Structure 1
């Protein structure tokens, strides 16, 4: 093996380059848990809760809307579960006192706002079948869509 002496280096040259990335606002929702009232006795109010999660990029402001549901003649103030042609009225609220209707911000309803933290945030939906709700025997169902606007 031949060994050569190391060359003597006296000058340098430099260059630089830019490193870039773009983080876009995004949100992911996970509903998954049904709001189950269980057995309802007409004339007695029935409360229930459920939760869903939102994961939004850090610093992203967002609003969470709940749809009016799929029940015929429903409004944000009076949502309707159906069983065949029969309906059972109920409400969805942002608070445990069940005083603030959760909707899309129209028709007297409110949205829930937050700012993304980059980790999962949990939100509770408070439901109530009012004591005055009349009902025919049956199993009632409705579908609510959660939307994040950011």
Structure 2
């Protein structure tokens, strides 16, 4: 019976280690489209990278999700960039074919659901591609168009 107690203590110690503080962060560089030509029949495409980094002394079965909001419009289905009062529509996608909107799970958009099984001391870093597109033939004034999309990481 004494041997059993030692094993039980080791198992409890292992469980307590995995619940120690874990931190996950998300980062990305600003995504900048090239010069937009409103007369072109071709959309303007860009690819950016979103990085999730998780740190813990020991972690098991860590899962997380990443959501992107709709920016200025508040809707992932109709994102816009503005330059003064001028507006230009654009969209962010989770696939290179630009068919699945990257968002918060609303309006048919997808979120990043991922995780990892085991990490000991070393950080776990995952990169995800985000594909942007400005539709062709938008009648817009010249200017610097901006939008801010908030990223929510839940773990």
Q: TM-score, normalised by structure 1?
A: 0.77
SS of residue in 1 equivalent to 2:71? coil
Aligned to 1:27: 24
State the 1:37 CA deviation: 0.7
Aligned to 2:83: 83
Q: Quick check: 1:109 aligned with 2:112?
A: no
Which protein shows a greater Rg? 1
| CA RMSD across the alignment | 2.2
Q: In the TM superposition, what whole-angstrom CA distance separates every residue of 1:50-109 from its partner, at most 9, and x where no partner exists?
A: 112101354211111011012xx4531221000001111000000000000011001221
2:78 touches 2:89 (CA, 8 Å); kept in 1? yes
State the 1:148 CA deviation: 1.1
Aligned to 2:129: 124
Q: TM-score, normalised by structure 2?
A: 0.75
- Alignment length, in residue pairs? 132
Q: Runs of 5+ in structure 2 lacking a partner?
A: 1-5
Higher relative strand content:
2
2:64 is aligned, of 62, 65, 90, to: 62
Give 4+ residue runs of structure 1 displaced > 6 Å after superposition. none
SS of residue in 2 equivalent to 1:75? coil
